[in-house]
Amino acid sequence: MSETKKKPTNPKNYMLVESVFVDGPGDPVKNFIGIPMDADAPFLEIVFDPSKKILGIVSKTLKPQFHFMPKIDGNGFPKPNTNKALKEQYPVAQERLLIDTYHEYYIRTPKEIEAFLKMYAFNATTFDWKSFLG
């Protein structure tokens, strides 16, 4: 019987870099993100939300979740809402669809953000991510 050698995992396989965050109609705000540096990275992305001061982590795990999506016509354009009571609030008709969505995690406290980044980012001690918490 042959044994398959398991590849050693490197938990520190993200690089923190400066980026911009756009949340709504406001101006872009500087933030930071974690870029996966190899295929074995356990998360798709790591993003810091500077307006809420939380770290968002998008996992590679898919789960079915309901989303409202615009109904489209045969040409791929959104159909107008024909319900007069809702037309002003929702000008485009919508339908509820079950879609596979990547699971997301949120870390809210600075102490837990620090612990997470030290565990997964190889440049957590040299990149000034703490300045974004201010």
Q: Is 3 part of any domain? A: no
Q: What is the pTM of this model?
A: 0.74
Q: Is 23 part of any domain? A: yes
User: In this structure, what token pair is assigned to residue 112?
Assistant: 């837990």
Per-residue pLDDT of the chain (134 residues; tens, 9 = 90+): 556 666 656 678 999 999 998 877 878 889 999 999 988 899 999 999 998 999 999 999 999 999 999 999 999 999 999 888 888 888 999 999 999 999 999 999 999 999 999 999 999 999 999 999 87
Domain that holds residue 45: 14-132
Q: CA-to-CA distance for 65 and 96, rounded, in angstroms?
A: 10
Q: Is 111 part of any domain? A: yes
What's the number of domains the chain is made of? 1
Q: Is 109 part of any domain? A: yes
Q: CA-to-CA distance for 115 and 134, rounded, in angstroms?
A: 18
Q: CA-to-CA distance for 50 and 27, rounded, in angstroms?
A: 12
Q: Please say whether the beta carbons of 78 and 68 come within 8 A.
A: no
Q: CA-to-CA distance for 61 and 105, rounded, in angstroms?
A: 11
Q: Is 117 part of any domain? A: yes
Q: Is 5 part of any domain? A: no
Segment (H or E) for 103? strand 94-107
What's the order of all strands across the beta sheet hosting 94-107?
14-21, 29-36, 43-49, 54-70, 94-107
